[in-house]
Amino acid sequence: MSIVDNEKEIIEDFDLFSDWEDKYEYIISLGRELPLISDQYKTEEHLVRGCQSRVWLHAEKQGANIVFTADSDAIITKGIIALLVKVLSNQPAIEVAKTDLDFINKIGLKEHLSPNRSNGLVSMIQKMKTYAAAYSAK
Amino acid sequence: MKNNVTDIRKDFPILSTQVNGKPLVYFDNGASAQKPQAVIDSISKYYSTMHANIHRGVHTLSQNATQAYEDAREAVKKYINAQHSEEIIITRGTTESINLVAHSFVKKGDEVIISGMEHHSNIVPWQLAEVNLKVVKVKDNGELDLEDFKSKLSKNTKLVAITHVSNTLGTINPVEEIIALAHALGVKVLLDGAQAVPHMKVDVQKLDCDFYAFSAHKMYGPTGIGILYGKRDLLNAMPPYQGGGDMIKHVTFEKTTYNDLPHKFEAGTPAISEGIALGAAVEYLNKIDWDWAAKHEEELLAYATEEIKKIEGVKVIGEAKHKAGVLSFVVEGAHHYDIGTLLDQMGIAIRTGHHCTEPLMHRFDISGTARASFAFYNTKDEVKIFIDALKRSLKMLR
Ligand SMILES: Cc1ncc(COP(=O)(O)O)c(C=O)c1O
């Protein structure tokens, strides 16, 4: 599935939720399920700083694709990371570098990407793209 | 005198709005308080009927605007009981007030005592001034360690700069005692009053502090404006902070002479509408029955503290004997960011994070807290809503 297909699927999932509680319960459950980053990468070097919650991100090249693993100390942040990983991981690096991630707006989680939240997500997405751009240039 | 919360709430239009489809419960007053209609009207009236630059024009508008701005200074002077109106320096806020003192009162290498519970704006200006900083310890219950203070204070100390009320812990520091100890050795004292002024009437002469810094936006006034109170002799002896218009008497390329207080420290066109609206905020606060307000806020805090402690895994950070308006807490198994996010969905605004007091977070070995902070317009019903919403959030998170 392409990035766009992944995004579509998530938008369809979120369309089913009638209230905020269902939506956040789902995000929290995604956070719980997110395969954790392996301990060796949960280091200062992989830390994306946000002043509210912390995010760890690791990127790896597999052929033309880029694979992300990530973690956070806050479960909602982690759930949103799970969505980003679902959409972007195992995709061609060149596509990841170009994507605009509009689905976050469409599922009503835009506020989590405002710099004001300082939850590390904005910097994480920037890092994902930087890695992708670097890998596709190689 | 205003002493009825139902009536007082009607003065603050934002309090009857909805957030995320729920009635707003605003418990982020420590970050910034909401504004009464009188303050909002003052800004609108100023721009509709009065605006001109101040201290410059001979025309009527300018004179009226100047008068209104200076009336506001006078209102602040009376409100905090300063002796002279030129002791009221109008700044951008607490942060600029402290930076001014750090720039003009101390020099590199001077010894300055602060505490472990200071806001970054009472830490970083001193670091920029390259003073020799000594930090008073904070006890486990969130009170200042006075013995540690005494052991650090000496005749070599140039200034003690300490918060009156902690924005993170709510601790009301024993500032009278601190000032008496410092003055006995000839040491000057600056109080960061950002979190005190919203909760109590402050009398700078009674306190006998040398400097007192606070922000209008936390005391129900506009953003972008605040006050540095300083004793006249000290301010007179200090060099200007910034150069520009208004702060000079005469300028030549050879020699410039500075204006008198308070203008010496007020370079450039100020925030005029905000200054005048600060005057309106003070006028509003003059109508508040402060004995009632103190008791009301105390009851809110006591009730919220009691209820929150009943929730399993909740730990209150800051349990000083004397507290004002702040309930900081951490919860086992739930991150403060997640708690804040879910409460927001239910229309409740709290603050989460380190509250610009990172060293204090390290002191308690936590990454942040969730903080509910109250104002006199909050109600027990809102506390109930908050506690129920917190329980609901924790059910989802744990
Ligand atoms: C104790 C304390 N000091 C200083 C400040 C800084 O105030 P301002 O940002 O209005 O300059 C704050 C506000 O967050 C505060 O709570």
- Amino acid identity for residue A1 in this structure: M
Confirm or reject: Cβ of B171 under 6 Å from ligand 1: no
Chain A from 28 to 57: CB within 8 A of any B CB? 28, 51-54
Instruction: Look at the block and give the residue holding tokens 């170009």.
Output: A98
C-alpha–C-alpha distance, residues B87 and B203, integer Å? 13
Q: What is the pLDDT of residue B44?
A: 98
Residue A115 pLDDT greater than 80, yes or no: no
The CATH T-level fold of domain B5-31+289-397 is: Aspartate Aminotransferase, domain 1 (3.90.1150)
What is the CA(A62)–ligand 1 centre distance, in A? 49
Domain ranges of chain B: 5-31+289-397, 40-285
- Total structural domains within chain A: 1
> Which of B335, B345, B396 is facing A53, going by the closest CB pair?
B335
C-alpha–C-alpha distance, residues A96 and A108, integer Å? 22
Range of the domain at A122: 3-137
Confirm or reject: Cβ of B194 under 6 Å from ligand 1: yes
Mutate to test the interface with A, among B335, B361, B394 (most CBs of A within 10 A): B335
What is the CA(B120)–ligand 1 centre distance, in A? 8
With an 8 Å Cβ cutoff, are A74 and B335 in contact? yes
Phi, psi of B215 (to 5 degrees): -115, 140
Residue A51 pLDDT greater than 80, yes or no: no
CA-proximal residue: ligand 1, atom 12 (nearest): B194
Of residues A120 and B207, more confidently modeled: B207
Per-residue pLDDT of chain B (398 residues; tens, 9 = 90+): 999 999 999 999 999 999 999 999 999 999 999 999 999 999 999 999 999 999 888 899 999 999 999 999 999 999 999 999 999 999 999 999 999 999 999 999 999 999 999 999 999 999 999 999 999 999 999 999 999 999 999 999 999 999 999 999 999 999 999 999 999 999 999 999 999 999 999 999 999 999 999 999 999 999 999 999 999 999 999 999 999 988 989 999 999 999 999 999 999 999 999 999 999 999 999 999 999 999 999 999 999 999 999 999 999 999 999 999 999 999 999 999 999 999 999 999 999 999 999 999 999 999 999 999 999 999 999 999 999 999 999 999 99
* Identical fold between B5-31+289-397 and B40-285: no
Distances (CA, A) of B261 to A11, A85, B233, B250, B276: 62, 60, 10, 15, 19
**Model pTM score:** 0.95
Render A1-54 in DSSP notation, one character per residue: --HHHHHHHHHHHHHT--SHHHHHHHHHHHHHHSPPPPGGG-SGGGEEP-SSS-
Distances (CA, A) of B182 to A30, B147, B179, B208, B290: 56, 13, 5, 11, 29
Mutate to test the interface with A, among B18, B337, B391 (most CBs of A within 10 A): B337
Nearest chain B residue to A119 by CA distance is: B337
Marked catalytic residue, from B124, B356, B361, B397: B356
Which ligand 1 atom minimizes the distance to the CA of B118?
1
* Complex ipTM tops 0.85: yes
Residues of A with Cβ-Cβ distance to B367 under 8 angstroms: 54, 73
Quick one: three-class SS letters along chain B? CECCHHHHHHCCHHHHCEECCEECEECECCCCCCCCHHHHHHHHHHHHHHCCCCCCCCCHHHHHHHHHHHHHHHHHHHHCCCCCHHHEEEECCHHHHHHHHHHHCCCCCCEEEEECCCCHHHCHHHHHCCCEEEEECECCCCCECHHHHHHHCCCCEEEEEEECECCCCCEECCHHHHHHHHHHCCCEEEEECCCCCCCCCCCHHHHCCCEEEEEHHHHCCCCCCEEEEECHHHHHHCCCCCCCCCCEEEECCCCEEECCCCHHHCCCCCCHHHHHHHHHHHHHHHCECHHHHHHHHHHHHHHHHHHHHCCCCEEEECCCCCECCEEEEEECCECHHHHHHHHHHCCEECEEECCCCHHHHHHCCCCCEEEEECCCCCCHHHHHHHHHHHHHHHHHHC
Q: What is the pLDDT of residue B258?
A: 93
Q: What is the pLDDT of residue B30?
A: 98
- Amino acid identity for residue B81 in this structure: N
What is the CA(B230)–ligand 1 centre distance, in A? 18
Q: Do B142 and B115 meet the contact criterion of CB atoms below 8 Å apart?
A: no
Which ligand 1 atom minimizes the distance to the CA of B215?
10
Q: What is the pLDDT of residue A138?
A: 65
Confirm or reject: Cβ of B94 under 6 Å from ligand 1: yes
With an 8 Å Cβ cutoff, are B337 and A20 in contact? no
B341 at A interface, C-beta within 8 A: yes
> Which of B334, B345, B352 is facing A52, going by the closest CB pair?
B352
Nearest chain B residue to A120 by CA distance is: B337
Q: What is the pLDDT of residue A125?
A: 87
The CATH T-level fold of domain B40-285 is: Aspartate Aminotransferase; domain 2 (3.40.640)
CATH number for position A35: 3.90.1010.10
Mutate to test the interface with A, among B338, B344, B398 (most CBs of A within 10 A): B338
Tens digits of per-residue pLDDT, A1-48?
899 999 999 999 999 998 999 999 999 999 998 777 888 888 888 888
Q: What is the pLDDT of residue B201?
A: 96
Confirm or reject: Cβ of B192 under 6 Å from ligand 1: yes
What is the CA(B167)–ligand 1 centre distance, in A? 8
Chain B: nearest CA to A72, how far in angstroms? 10
Has A99 been annotated as catalytic? no
Which ligand 1 atom minimizes the distance to the CA of B166?
1
